[in-house]
Amino acid sequence: MVITGASSGIGAALAELLARQGESLLLVARRAEALEAVVAKCQGKVQALTADLTNRAEVRRTVSAAVERFGQVDVWVNNVGQGITRPPSQLSDEDVAAMMRVNVMTALYGCQEILPHFIARRRGHIINLSSMLGRIPHAVHRSAYNGAKHFLNALTANFRTEVQASHPDIQFSLISPGVVRTEFGHNALHGGPDSWQLPDSQSAEEVAAVIAEVIETRRPDVYTRAGARDRVVSYFSALGQDP
C-alpha cells in the first residue's frame, strides 16, 4: 500500500494502524524528518520516500519505487491536502492555483500514474481523501479549498465510471471527514483556526479506522462520522434542492 501525505495527521495515523495489521507500506511526503519519525513508530515492512507529489514526475517515481520495493501495489491512498483561510471575494489567482495544485492535482497524478499498474493486474484500489466541505461548502473562509474538494469528488466519480466500464475490479473510493484534530488549521494557507479547538471534531485515529475499513470493504463513498449524510441532505433541503 502507498500512503501519500503520510508525515502527519490522518496519513500518519493510517500508517500506524495498517502497520500494526502487518501491511507492507510505502509512506510518502515532502518532509523527510517528519516522515522518518512516523516510520519509527510503525512496525514491520514500512518504508519512507521523500517526494513532492505536486510534481507529476515525482509521482511517477513513487509508483516505480513502490513496485520495485514490493513487487506490486494493491492500494494507493491520495491523502495530500492543504486548507486556506480566505473568503471568496479576496481570493487571488495564486490562492486558487495553490488549492488546486495541492488538493486536486496530487490526486489526479496519483490516479493516472498508478492506473496502468492496476490495469495490468486487472485489480486495484485508489482512495481519495476529500472533506465534508466538498459536500457542504458552509465554511466561507475555506472558499477555494471547498471548491477543490468538490472538484476532487467529481473527478473520483468520473474515474470510477470510466475505468470500471472495462475493469470492474479497480475501485475508486472517496472518504469525507469533517473536522479532524490535526495541524490542518495551523498549516492552512494564510493561517487559520486551530482544528483542535473546533467543535464536533474527531481524531485522526478515528478517520484512519474508517479508511482501514474501506480498504477491506472497498465501499465507493464513505463519510467518517455518523449522521453526516443526514447533514448533507438537510443542507440541500434548506436550499430547496435535492442532495
The question of whether 235 is a catalytic residue gets the answer: no
Pairing type for strands 46-50 and 25-29 reads: parallel
DSSP-assigned states of every residue in 88-142: GGG--HHHHHHHHIIIIIHHHHHHHHHHHHHHHHT-EEEEEE--GGGT----GGG
**φ and ψ at residue 156, rounded to 5 degrees:** -65, -45
Partner residues linked to 221 by β-bridges? 174
Residue with cell 475490479: 169
Partner residues linked to 223 by β-bridges? 176
Contacts of 21 (CB under 8 A, 6+ apart): 212
- d(CA 115, CA 132) in angstroms, rounded, equals 26
Active-site residue, selected from the candidate residues 109, 145, 223, 235 = 145
51 grid coordinates: 517526494
44 grid coordinates: 514491520
Sheet of 221-223, strands arranged across: 46-50, 25-29, 2-4, 75-78, 124-129, 170-176, 221-223
Active site (catalytic) residues:
145
